[in-house]
Chains A and B, each alone.
Chain A
Amino acid sequence: MVTVNNQSQPSEVIELEKTVAYKIKRRDELTEKTGHYWGIKEFTLRDADPMKFERFYSRLQSSCMAAREISRFVAASPGGREMGEAVWGLVSAEGDSIALSEGFVAHSAAFPYAINFMIERGYEDNPGFNDADVYVADDGFSCGAPHPGDTYTYVPIVRDGEVIGWACAINHIMEVGAPQAGSWAMFAVDTFMDGFVCPPTRTGENLKQYAWWDEMWKRRTRAGTMNILDDKMRLAGCAMILKSIHEIIDEFGVDYYLRASKEVIEESRRVVKDNIRNWMIPGTYEQSAFRVCLYKGLQNIWEHADKDSLIHVYMRSSIDGDGRFHADMEGSSKWDYHAFNAFPGGHKVALMMGLAGALAYNTKFTSGGNYMIDSNLPEGSIYNPGTHVAAHSNGWAQMIMVTLQAFNTLTRAQFMRGYMEESFAVSGPWDSMQGEGVLEDGTPYGYTQFELLGACAQGAYAYRDGEPAVWFIASQLCNMGNSEEFEQLTPPLFHLGRKLQPGYCGYGKYRAGLGLSAVHWVVEPGQRLTASRAGSSCGIIPELSIGMMGGYPSPGATVAVAQGTNVQELFKEGISPTTLQEMVELVEDDTLKTESIKIWKSDAPQTHLKQDDLWAQMAGSGGGWGDPLERDPQAVVQDANSGSINIPFAEEMHGVVLNRVGDEKYELNEAKTVTKRKALRAERKAQSIPVKEWYQQHREQRVLKMNMMEPVVEMLRSATSFDAYKKHYFNFWHLPEDFEI
C-alpha cells in the first residue's frame, strides 16, 4: 500500500504520490513484482472486520446500481433506457473498476485506457482534474471504446486535491453522425468517416455540461436530442455516485476507502484465478472466424477502399499454470481501409465480454479479473493498427467473434472437466437497422433500431437444446428494447411481424434456439427515408468456424429488402409476411409483387426506401452441439409438431422418418427411422475420404495454385504477413520458403 501521508517525506514527494500518474506507475510496479494487485498479499481490512468490509462494499455497489436505475428515468433515449448496455461504475484513480451496476459490465475494461491516455497526454496538468469535472469520450484509439457511439462519461472524485477515483458511465447512443447514418457505419474508409469521435474531453464542470457541448451533439449527429438525453443520463448517474462516494468516505475515512478498494479488486482477482484453475484446462485452443466486408463498387471516390475483403479473426488462446488466460491474436488480418478495425481497448472489452460474467459471477465484479487475462495484439493488426487514422465505426461487428472465441474456450474447457451443465455453443449473431430521413415537414432525423441486437438464442447445450431470444452476449440483461417506442421514433417503419424463424438454427444432436425475424413496412416515409444494416456475423459465412463436437456453427444474419411492392393489396386478402423467409416465399410464388428484391447475406448498404417497401431481418440464432444423427427422434417429432424445423431436415439431417397424421401433425415412424439412419451413416462412409487424401488433393489443387477467390487469397496474404501465422500456415501445408501467396 502506498503511504500518502508519510510525514518523513518532503511535501513535494507527498504531492507526487497523490498524482494519478504516480499511482498508475506504482500499481504496475507492485502488481508486476508481487503478482498481487497493488502488492496486496493480505486482506488486512477485510480480515480485521469482515462485516465492516462487506458493508463498505455494498454501499459502493448499491451507489452504482442506484445510479443506473434512477438516471435511466431522469433522462434517456429509448435505447439508453431500455437496452442492457448502459453501465455505471466506481473506478479507482488508476482506472480499475471497484464496483459496477448491472448492464454491459465488460465495458469497464475500457476505463483504464482512457485514464492512461489522459495521463500520458498531460491532462493532469492541463486542464487538471477537479472534483465534479465532466469528461466524455467515444474514441477507440484514445479511450478504448469498441466503436464510436459507445460513449463514456468520467467524473473525477477528488479529496483534498487528490484524485481518489472516478464515477464513470457508458451507453450506446442512438446515432453517431457518420456519413453513413446510424450507430455503426459499415462503410468508413478512415476514422474521418467514423462519425462524431472525441478523445477524452472536458465537457463540463461542477456536474454541469458546458453549453457548447450540447451544441456539438446537435451539430455533429442526426439525433442530437436523443444523444443529449443520454449524455444527461450518464452524467446524472455519475453525479449520484460522486455524492455517494463522498458520503461513504466521510463515514469510513479516505485511508480505509483507498486500502479497502484495493483489497476488493485483489479479492476478485483471486476468485477469477481460482475459477480459471478450477474450471479450465491448461493447453492451447485454436479458433477462427471470418467477417466479410464487401466494398467493391460501392463508390468511386476512395480507390484504396474499393475492394471486397475477408477479415480473419484468429485466436490461439492458452491457459498457463498460474491460471492466466492468454489470447494470442497473431494471424488476424492487418488493419485496412474499412470500418471493421479496432484498438487494444476495444479488444479488451470484447475479450472480457466473453469472460467477465462467466468467470466473475461468484465474486464482486471489479477489474480484478482483467489482470488474469491478457493478449498479444501485433502492431499493424486489425486490433492494434498502430495508426490513429484507422476507421473503427463497426469494429464491434467483428470483435463479437473475439468474445465468442474467448467464451468458447471456457465452455469447451468446462465440458472437458465435467461441468457439462455450463457448456454450450456460444454465439450471438446480432443485427440492427439504422439510417436517417427527412419528415414531410422537413425535419431531419437519424435512428438506430436495436430490436435484434439484444435478444439472441442460446446455442445448444451439451445436454439439451438452446432457448430462443434469451441471450445477449454483451450483458446479463437480454431484451429487445422497447420496440414499440422505436416505432414511434422512426415514424415510417411499422412492424408487419416479429417472430421466431422456423428452422433457423445451428443443428446437431442438440439444436440452438431459433433465431428471430422481423418485417418492417414503410409507411409515409416523408421526403426521404434510408436504412442500412449493422450487425456482427453475415449470412454468407457462419458466425464461428468450428461447430461444437460435431454440431454446425451458428448461421449468420441476413437482410432482405423488397421494393415497390403490392403489399397493401395483399392486406385486403389477409396476407402479410411476418418473417424474412415468408416474404421471400411470397415473392417466389408471385403473390408479393415487387420491382426488386435483394437478399443481403452481408451488410445491406444504405438504401432509399419508399412507400410500401419492406425491410426484413433475420438474426440471433445459435450453434448446434453434437452429431445430428444422434438427436432423440422424439425431439425431432416435437420440433415438427411445433413448427420449429424445416420438415425435410427431419429425414435428411437427423434420419428421422415422420408419418404425417394431420394438418402439420406428425408421428414417428420407428422402423423407417432405424433404416434411414443406417443409410445416412453408410452415405457418410461412401461420401467421405481419409483426411490424408483430402490434404493431398487440396494442397495440390487449391493451395499451391492459390485457386480461390481473391478476397480469400488476400486474407491469407494478410494473415501470413505476421511471422507466427506464416510459420503455422507454411508448416501445415509444407510450402517452400519462396512460395508467394
Chain B
Amino acid sequence: MEKVNKEIVAQLVAGDISRDESRTLLKMNPKDPERFWTYLEVLQERVNWDDKILLRISDHLYIVQKKETGERLVKCDCGHELGDFRANWKTSAHVRIRDTQEEINKVYYPPAAAPEPEWNEVREFFCPGCYAQIGVEIVPPGYPLLFEFRPDLDRFYREFLGKPLDDKRSDWYEDHTDKTTANWL
C-alpha cells in the first residue's frame, strides 16, 4: 500500500499542492492508512506550542491533550484555548452578528441572492486570540448554537486506529455545552 510522503501532506495542508498531485491523491485506492499520523506530524510542526494534537477539527482548531494538566481542550493554532472539547467551542469564541440587510449584503452577492434578516442572522465566530474567522452559521434568531462535531475520541483511537489513548475515562464522550451555558445565567 502506497504511503503518501510528508511533503505532499504538508502541501495539502498549506494549500499549495499542485493539481496533478491532488488528483493523484484523489485517485488513490485504497487511501493510505498512515495518513492520519502523517497529518498529525505535519500539523504539530506548524504550531508554536507543544500540547499534543489529538484531532484537527477545523482550519485553525485542534483538540489537544494539554501537557501540564492532561485536559483535552480545543486550541487555536495561535495558542488561544477554547475550553474543554466536550463543550461546543463556540461558547468560548467571540461572535459578530449580521442581522440587517446592509450587513448581510457585505458577505453575499448579488443582492438578489442575499439571505434576508428577518429569517436569518449571520453568526461569525472569531478566535478571541487571533480573530481568525473560525466558524459561520446562518440560522433563524432564537436558534441554538450548532455543535458541528463532538468526537468519540477514545473509540476512534482504540477501535478505528488501533492505538488507544492513555488517558481513557468514561465521561469523555459527553456533551458539556449545556453545563457551560448554565453557568451564564
Contacts and interface: CB of A to CB of B under 8 A. Distances in A.
Interface of A: 277-279, 281-288, 290, 292, 310, 321, 362, 412, 415-422, 462-464, 501, 503-504, 507, 509-510, 515, 539-542, 545-547, 549-553, 555-558, 560, 580-581, 584, 599, 601, 618, 621, 625-630, 632, 645-646, 649, 652-653, 681-682, 684-685, 687-692, 694-696, 698, 702-703, 706-709, 711-713, 715-716, 728-729, 731-734
B147 interface: yes
Contacts of B131: 681-682, 684-685, 688
A550 B140 contact: no
A215 to B, nearest CB: 44
B44 interface: no
A290 B140 contact: yes
Given A416-B55, A694-B95, A716 B181 contact: no
The SS class assigned to the B binding surface is mixed
For A599, A626, A653, A688, which residue has the most chain B Cβ atoms within 10 angstroms?
A688
Lowest 7 CB-CB distances: which A-B pairs, in order?
A418-B39, A547-B136, A283-B151, A688-B94, A503-B109, A421-B25, A732-B144
A685 B129 CA distance: 10
Contacts of A501: 110
Contacts of A625: 59
B155 A709 contact: no
A627 B94 CA distance: 15
A552 B113 CA distance: 13
A713 B55 CA distance: 37
Contacts of B182: 734
A417 B36 contact: yes
Interface of B: 9, 12-13, 15, 17, 19, 22, 25-26, 29-31, 33, 35-36, 38-40, 55-60, 90-97, 106-110, 112-116, 118-120, 122, 124-126, 128, 131-153, 155-156, 159-160, 173, 175, 177-178, 181-182, 184-185
A558 B12 CA distance: 35
Given A549-B59, A685-B131, A689-B95, A286 B148 contact: yes
A545 B118 CA distance: 15
Given A290-B140, A321-B155, A709 B118 contact: yes
Contacts of B93: 690-691
Contacts of B33: 278
Nearest to B138: A542
Nearest to B19: A464
B137 A547 contact: yes
Contacts of A546: 135-137, 146, 148
26 contacts: A288-B139, A292-B119, A362-B30, A415-B56, A417-B35, A419-B25, A463-B15, A540-B115, A547-B138, A552-B138, A555-B108, A556-B115, A601-B113, A618-B113, A621-B113, A625-B59, A627-B132, A628-B133, A684-B133, A685-B94, A688-B96, A690-B128, A698-B142, A702-B141, A731-B178, A732-B144
B3 to A, nearest CB: 12
Contacts of B155: 282, 321
B112 A558 contact: yes
Contacts, number: 274
B50 to A, nearest CB: 20
A549 B151 CA distance: 16
A550 B126 CA distance: 9
B115 A698 contact: no
A690 B143 CA distance: 17
Given A549-B58, A681-B131, A684-B96, A310 B140 contact: yes
A696 B185 CA distance: 7
A696 B58 CA distance: 26
Contact of A580 (B9, B112, B119): B112
Given A282-B152, A286-B146, A732-B177, A509 B95 contact: no
Contacts of B107: 507, 552, 653
B15 A464 contact: yes
Given A310-B140, A321-B155, A695-B181, A416 B146 contact: no
A517 to B, nearest CB: 9
A700 B12 CA distance: 45
Contacts of A691: 90-95, 125, 145
A418 B122 CA distance: 29
Contacts of B136: 546-547, 550-553
Contacts of B91: 691-692, 695
Contact of A688 (B9, B22, B55, B124): B124
For A278, A510, A549, A558, which residue has the most chain B Cβ atoms within 10 angstroms?
A549
Contact of B149 (A283, A618, A685, A729): A283
A602 to B, nearest CB: 10
B38 A541 contact: no
Contacts of B96: 684, 687-689
Contacts of B184: 692, 695-696
A91 B112 CA distance: 45
Nearest to A316: B147
Contact of B142 (A539, A694, A703): A703
A392 B183 CA distance: 44
A550 B90 contact: no
Nearest to B39: A418
A553 B110 contact: no
B113 A281 contact: no
Contact of A281 (B55, B109, B124, B144): B55
Contacts of B128: 690
Given A286-B148, A708-B140, 19 more contacts: A278-B31, A284-B149, A286-B149, A290-B140, A463-B17, A504-B109, A541-B120, A542-B108, A546-B136, A552-B108, A556-B115, A625-B59, A688-B131, A689-B94, A691-B145, A703-B142, A706-B142, A708-B142, A732-B145
B33 to A, nearest CB: 7
Nearest to B89: A691
Nearest to A732: B144
Contacts of B29: 362
Given A282-B160, A549-B58, A690-B94, A542 B115 contact: yes
B152 to A, nearest CB: 4
A627 B155 CA distance: 31
A541 B178 contact: no
A151 B128 CA distance: 53
A716 B144 CA distance: 11
A26 to B, nearest CB: 31
A728 B182 CA distance: 13
B148 A626 contact: no
Contact of A279 (B31, B112, B135, B143): B31
A549 B134 CA distance: 6
B119 A310 contact: yes
Nearest to B149: A285
Contacts of B109: 503-504, 645-646, 649
B149 A627 contact: no
A621 to B, nearest CB: 8
Contacts of A362: 29-30
For A618, A690, A703, which residue has the most chain B Cβ atoms within 10 angstroms?
A690
A581 B159 contact: no
Contacts of A279: 31
A541 B115 contact: yes
A716 B142 contact: yes
Contacts of A728: 144
Contacts of B119: 290, 292, 310, 540-541, 709, 711-712
B138 A541 contact: yes
Given A539-B114, A550-B134, A691-B94, A422 B178 contact: no
Given A282-B155, A284-B149, A684 B126 contact: yes
B133 A715 contact: no
B57 A288 contact: no
A547 B31 CA distance: 26
Nearest to B37: A418
A545 B146 contact: yes
Contacts of A515: 113
Contact of B156 (A281, A464, A702): A281
A504 B115 CA distance: 13
